Chains A and B, each alone.
Chain A
């Protein structure tokens, strides 16, 4: 519970009807880029308002205007009754703003950061003690006051950032993507804290690109390309989709083929894989019969399911991409000598006293999509890096298509493809030069080289962009280019390191269409992700926590472990939190 010291700025009854934030026809453009096109909306006290939209929607621009850091080109905005331009000084007192990468001083400890922000806010030194104690209790950072901010996990950094933003006891709290890089467990904590603040009457604005976060907000402003698509409670939007969402249950091994088939139907606007099932959304007014026929033909059960916020978002944008991957169609099926594509035995990595990966063993089958999940700092990226040869294990071994990464790393490396988080393209080289480079570094020569490059340009529709630099490409094309570079040498194993973080849902669906197509051709996919709905695409998921492998099973089996009374159909996020918490309890029990 936050004490009154934290949220003393509670609005009085007189304010209850007044809006915390009034946005009236706000326009902002940067050169030719239209970040906001005439936005009009209201944000209320005592509520959590989600500012939702994909990257580049204008969320941060709007936040910065409300925080008095940017001046709109047209229109007005007031925050707690103060005009953001004219009463700029009052804005900084009335609002708390937490930018995307919070300005923590990484070389200062938690306490020193708090002290610094208090002093910047001009607070009395003798009042610090009580205020700090409240904030530390609220954020549960009490045991870590002496730790350097730079050494905190992603979730703890966000909590410290939140503590600093709460220092001045604002009436409106602006949080810019607080959920980014934060695992589900820490995210749960943040929700709890924000809930407590809104209960006290504070207006909290939470911006996010995760559409599942939108569902937890009381009210939502949905932005896309600078336009306000929807303003209201999320349920109101999903209600419009009522009766259009279905799930094909227990499809099993054929689910990727079924998804591709379903997405090929005119009546289907969107579809994703959910564990062993396939979830489809019908177009407005479209009949259910074609999907039912598909289900009957495959002897599957078709169940209506509640609509999700993401369904509504995709629907507003006119539906997702089709289900066939031009790329996968061109690839020959992968032939391997053995059914095991990737394996590791007792894989261990220690950095000094710290064990990042502890005795991890598993086998990945040919054509499998294998997910590595875990909280921040659980060791999933260390494990991932050892599997693709970026780190040498301290003990144990890792094999890719039968080659030991230690002894025959060159042979193993030429058989794997890798796509990193930020797409890792050469920004100074043109699109064609990037393709040429990838071909060359994987030793493609002569005709093969020319054919492969031409093939990638054609399948990924990059022809119009050949002399552009990757940075100037639209996000979707940039992702295609990264995929093209990673697949130029037709590797039987593809490593994806958080491949879709910061990517909008439509681009993400296009990406997974290609990945599903590749898996059907026998390409083995290793993927790490923070998106729980991406974990649903995996055949099997390995859960890591505190360097150890705590669970390894199909997404559905993992979800079942979290089932209990009152939660018959747990989500992947429920499963994640459940598994991590029970592993922690077990560890505490043995210690």
Chain B
């Protein structure tokens, strides 16, 4: 009777205590609710791989009909904020040197003549290699503009057509389509990690953890009562992000909602286990927060959120398989854009289940270990 591992009355009392501790603590509320909203706004609007609002310098030595046409097309292009006209090669280089423009076009004197003669025109493009990624994308945009112009000048000519790349699932390469589903995982990760890693450490600071340990409550009860609020809040935040993706950013949701929810719950449970482990070994809340970030940040980097796991050394690829976020990202990205078939989702679900069981068991052992 007393020694039963799970008792509903004890469990309920502890669950209420945990929930109140989070909701009544202004610090906890800040940690849990403010960063997700800020991150949503900042990441979704600022963090982007698209090239926008860049300046281009043009040194038009030709000043003929076709060079004029080219410059006008540049000025109409959406990605260019301003076309800066210069009158010497030197100032062209200066602008590039100072990083004021990302690319510079040097139009030679014989450009229009060459085009008119049907021999085609050649323009020199100088790109700021320090910003290699944006630079390359800019070059691609510029060559598209040039190709369009060429097609107009000589519709029948067999001018070399640039390779046409079709991006599957995200044909327009809208960056938000990629980042918002990923954010779902990251926000749920950090909120669940912080809530749980603070929970035991907070009690230890107050001295109430000893009070709890001398009561007849069992370790599984402590683990469950500390997991549930984090699970509830993490799931809520995750779903909020999914809703934001669908309704605010209009990202096509093509997968199964039920499987995504299952994945989210398993994902958070595995994170809760990690958080409780951190909490069990932390003496203060400060240590717990540091612990949560020193686990959470590398986990995000290795999960493949920013860089593909396939590009990592083999050892890290193995490690990535042990990180719950890796699998959840596969599920959430698949559900949003790929209409991932249930079979493929399951392939990511079972590792999450294994990791969740592993971390929660270890957390139970850690908490029990505090008694020794």
A positions within 8 Å CB-CB of B: 388-392, 408-411, 413-414, 416, 418, 420-429, 433, 436-437, 439-445, 485, 495
Contact = CB atoms under 8 A, between A and B. Distances in A.
B216 A426 contact: no
A413 B215 contact: yes
Given A437-B13, A440-B13, A390 B213 contact: yes
Contacts of B216: 410-411, 413-414, 441-443
A429 B371 contact: no
A424 B218 contact: no
A418 B213 CA distance: 10
B217 interface: yes
A441 B214 contact: no
Contacts of B7: 443
8 contacts: A409-B3, A410-B218, A425-B208, A433-B20, A440-B9, A443-B9, A443-B216, A445-B9
Contacts of B25: 428
A408 B9 CA distance: 20
Interface string B8-39: 01101110110011001100000000000000
What are the 10 closest A-B residue pairs judged by CB atoms, nearest first?
A440-B13, A410-B3, A424-B207, A414-B216, A418-B214, A413-B216, A424-B211, A428-B24, A410-B2, A414-B2
Bin the interface of chain B by size: 20 to 34
Interface string B198-213: 0000000011101111
Contacts of B10: 440-443
A441 B206 contact: no
Given A424-B207, A426-B17, A437-B14, 18 more contacts: A389-B214, A390-B210, A408-B3, A410-B216, A413-B2, A413-B214, A414-B2, A414-B216, A418-B210, A420-B207, A425-B208, A426-B21, A428-B24, A429-B20, A440-B14, A441-B216, A443-B10, A445-B9
A418 B136 CA distance: 69
B372 interface: yes
A492 B7 CA distance: 22
Interface of B: 2-4, 7, 9-10, 12-14, 16-17, 20-21, 24-25, 206-208, 210-218, 371-372
A106 B101 CA distance: 54
Given A391-B371, A428-B24, A420 B17 contact: no
Contacts of B218: 410
B206 A424 contact: yes
Given A427-B206, A443-B9, A416 B3 contact: no
Contacts of A426: 17, 21, 206, 208
A449 to B, nearest CB: 9
Contacts of B4: 410
Contacts of B213: 389-390
A416 B213 CA distance: 12
A391 B207 contact: no
B211 A420 contact: yes
Could you say which of B21, B211, B212 has the most chain A C-beta atoms within 10 Å of its C-beta? B211
Nearest to B215: A441
Could you say which of B2, B10, B213 has the most chain A C-beta atoms within 10 Å of its C-beta? B2
A92 to B, nearest CB: 30
Contacts of A495: 214
Nearest to A424: B207
A433 B210 CA distance: 19
Nearest to A403: B2
B115 to A, nearest CB: 74
Nearest to B214: A418
Could you say which of B7, B208, B212, B218 has the most chain A C-beta atoms within 10 Å of its C-beta? B208
B210 A424 contact: yes
Nearest to A351: B372
A422 B215 CA distance: 17
Contact of B3 (A411, A418, A437): A411
Nearest to A393: B372
B13 A436 contact: yes
A294 B18 CA distance: 53
Contacts of A443: 2, 7, 9-10, 216
Contacts of B13: 436-437, 439-441
B371 A390 contact: yes
Contact of B24 (A421, A424, A429, A441): A429
A199 B4 CA distance: 66
A433 B14 CA distance: 11
Contacts of A424: 206-208, 210-211
A173 B119 CA distance: 96
Contact of B372 (A391, A408, A423, A427): A391
A433 B371 CA distance: 27
Contacts of B2: 410-411, 413-414, 443
Contacts of B208: 424-426
B9 A420 contact: no
Contact of A421 (B207, B212, B217): B207
Contact of A440 (B3, B12, B207, B210): B12
A437 B17 contact: yes
B372 to A, nearest CB: 5
B279 to A, nearest CB: 16
A429 B24 CA distance: 7
B73 to A, nearest CB: 63
Nearest to B217: A441
Contacts of B371: 389-392
A549 B220 CA distance: 36
Given A410-B2, A441-B215, A443-B216, A392 B16 contact: no
A437 B9 contact: no
A429 B12 CA distance: 15
A399 to B, nearest CB: 15
A390 B207 contact: no
Given A391-B371, A420-B210, A442 B17 contact: no
Nearest to A416: B214
A416 B372 CA distance: 19
B212 A441 contact: yes
A437 B21 CA distance: 12
Contacts of A485: 211
Contacts of A389: 213-214, 371
B13 to A, nearest CB: 2
Contacts of B20: 428-429, 433
Nearest to A418: B214
B293 to A, nearest CB: 22
Nearest to B218: A410
Contacts of A433: 16-17, 20
A475 B372 CA distance: 33
